[in-house]
Amino acid sequence: MSCKNKNFGQIQLQSVAVLIMGQSPPGSTYNELGQGLPFFQGVKDFDYRYPTPRVYCTAPTRIAKQGDILFSVRAPIGRVNVADRLCAAGRGIAIIRPKEQSDIRYIEYLLRYMEPTWNVMEASGSVFGNATKKDILTLPLIWPHQHTREKISNVLRAFDDKIELNRRMNETLEEIARALFKSWFVDFDPVRAKMDGRWQPGRSLPGLPAELYDHFPDRLVPSELGKIPEGWILKGLDEIADFVNGLALQRFPAEGDNYIPVIKIAEMRRGYTATTGRASPDIGEKYTVEDGDLLFSWSGSLEVTLWSHGRGALNQHLFKVTSAYFPRWFYWGWIHEHLDEFRWIAASKATTMGHIQRHHLREAKVVVPTDMLIKQTDLLINPLLKAIITNEVTNRELTKLRDTLLPKLLSGEVRVGDSDTS
């Protein structure tokens, strides 16, 4: 990392931080029951800023403290998260522990700024699969006076705090939407409440407005799926939505600057990066993705997301899910209900990349209520999904602004403090 500001010095990472390379203990010490410390093995465990615990370890060998920076040393190299608790690091992660607590944020931002550099190095072949201890210790860092470092960190922190607030808000909104969907259309709680007399005409229950009383039946009747509300019908998942499979986009190369970014599974997780592919914009509306579209990866890592990273091209192994009749929240909810089943099907296939097939969508049954109930429910759930998408788009713009501001702060083009020397 070069420094164009004469007032800013440059040092190596080893001067300001301790490096601990991760190590994986025996697999017999792993569990998913919450026993021991959260065990992070690589980028698959990373989220926006803090990793998400999935696996725990009862005999950790490399332990990160709260506030330590977690740095991925295996492809994709250079991704950064921060430990928000005591945790264990596997061999896909290096622990970077700043020597001064006040430098944690500044070093974190520098490392995030350098992510595209690692992407280019990997793409060019100058880095082969992993980053060594020497690679990391000798990373050059722009290093202004402490006063300036703190001011730069505080400016960027304001963006991150807002982004994190929006992310937490979205987690809550999604929990509410999915809980309501499951209660009404999977567990049939309103119907059961009417059957046992807990819900009476003209009275409300928690989560059940009185005005919806007449829209729910008061009986469950036999079906091939088990008992379902009277008057509701069964359909296959592929009958309530259209699942458009993406294209092999290498057959639609971009010409010069006339392109749209390619959306693969990696983009579903992180949005566009420096390594995102490019495709011709002439692929047609059917295979073009816009903010708010529902994407479902049916191969490899089966995931569902409401897209929020701008216009893009749908790659193969991804479905864009739409419906001319049913609202987005309805098929969004049912895909989530069948997601664990689909993942089990994919994992059981004796191939290197498990997947589901069209007939699995047909065999996945959904329960369809009356049109009027769907319309009434739309008034409750659709605003939640719209708010989620709005927050995600806002975060995209905040991230772009933060990442644009960082090099300007480091170059001195945008000043945050006095002309201190390092």
- Give 330-386 pLDDT, tens digit per residue: 999 999 999 999 999 988 875 556 789 999 999 999 999 999 999 999 999 999 999
- Give 256-297 pLDDT, tens digit per residue: 889 999 999 989 988 887 779 999 999 999 999 999 999 999
Q: Indicate the pTM of the whole model.
A: 0.84
Segments forming the whole domain that contains residue 404: 144-187+197-220+370-422
Strand order in the sheet with 260-263: 278-279, 260-263, 312-314, 288-289
- The reply to whether 266 and 299 lie within a common domain is yes
Per-residue tokens: 14: 């080893």
Q: What is the CATH number of the domain that holds 340?
A: 3.90.220.20
- The reply to whether 42 and 132 lie within a common domain is yes
* Phi, psi for residue 308 in degrees, rounded to 5: -150, 25
- Of 332, 353, 368, the last residue of a domain is 368
Residue 411, SS3? helix
- The reply to whether 43 and 117 lie within a common domain is yes
Q: What is the pLDDT of residue 125?
A: 58
- Of 343, 368, 393, the last residue of a domain is 368
List, in order, residues 6 or more apart from 74 with CB less than 8 Å away: 42, 43, 91, 92, 129, 130, 131
For 58, which DSSP code?
S
- Give 39-62 pLDDT, tens digit per residue: 999 988 998 889 999 999 999 999
Q: Which run of H or E residues covers position 279?
A: strand 278-279
| 254 within some domain | yes
Per-residue tokens: 56: 């725990």
- The reply to whether 318 and 380 lie within a common domain is no
Q: What is the pLDDT of residue 85?
A: 95
Whole-angstrom distance, CA of residue 89 vs CA of residue 321:
37
**Residue 291 to residues 153, 318, 320, 387, Cα–Cα distance (Å):** 31, 16, 12, 12
| 375 within some domain | yes
| 225 within some domain | no
Consecutive 10-residue runs of the chain (422 residues): their mean pLDDT? 64 96 94 95 89 94 96 90 96 96 93 80 62 92 91 93 95 97 97 96 92 96 95 97 96 92 91 88 96 94 94 96 97 97 85 81 97 96 98 95 88 67 38
- The reply to whether 251 and 208 lie within a common domain is no
Domain count of the fold of the chain: 3
Q: What angle do CA 380, 384, 386 make, to 5 degrees?
A: 120
- The reply to whether 55 and 65 lie within a common domain is yes
Q: What is the pLDDT of residue 76?
A: 83
- The reply to whether 176 and 262 lie within a common domain is no
Q: What is the pLDDT of residue 422?
A: 38
- Of 80, 108, 143, the last residue of a domain is 143
Beta bridge partners of 10: 142
| 82 within some domain | yes
- The reply to whether 362 and 245 lie within a common domain is yes
Q: What is the CATH number of the domain that holds 405?
A: 1.10.287
244 close to 263: Cβ distance less than 8 angstroms: no
315 close to 262: Cβ distance less than 8 angstroms: yes
- The reply to whether 241 and 170 lie within a common domain is no
Q: Which run of H or E residues covers position 18?
A: strand 17-21
Secondary-structure breakdown of the chain: helix, strand, coil percentages, each rounded to the nearest 5: 40, 20, 40
The percentage of residues in the chain with a pLDDT greater than 90, rounded to a whole number, is 77
User: Distance between the two ends of the chain, CA-based, in angstroms?
Assistant: 16
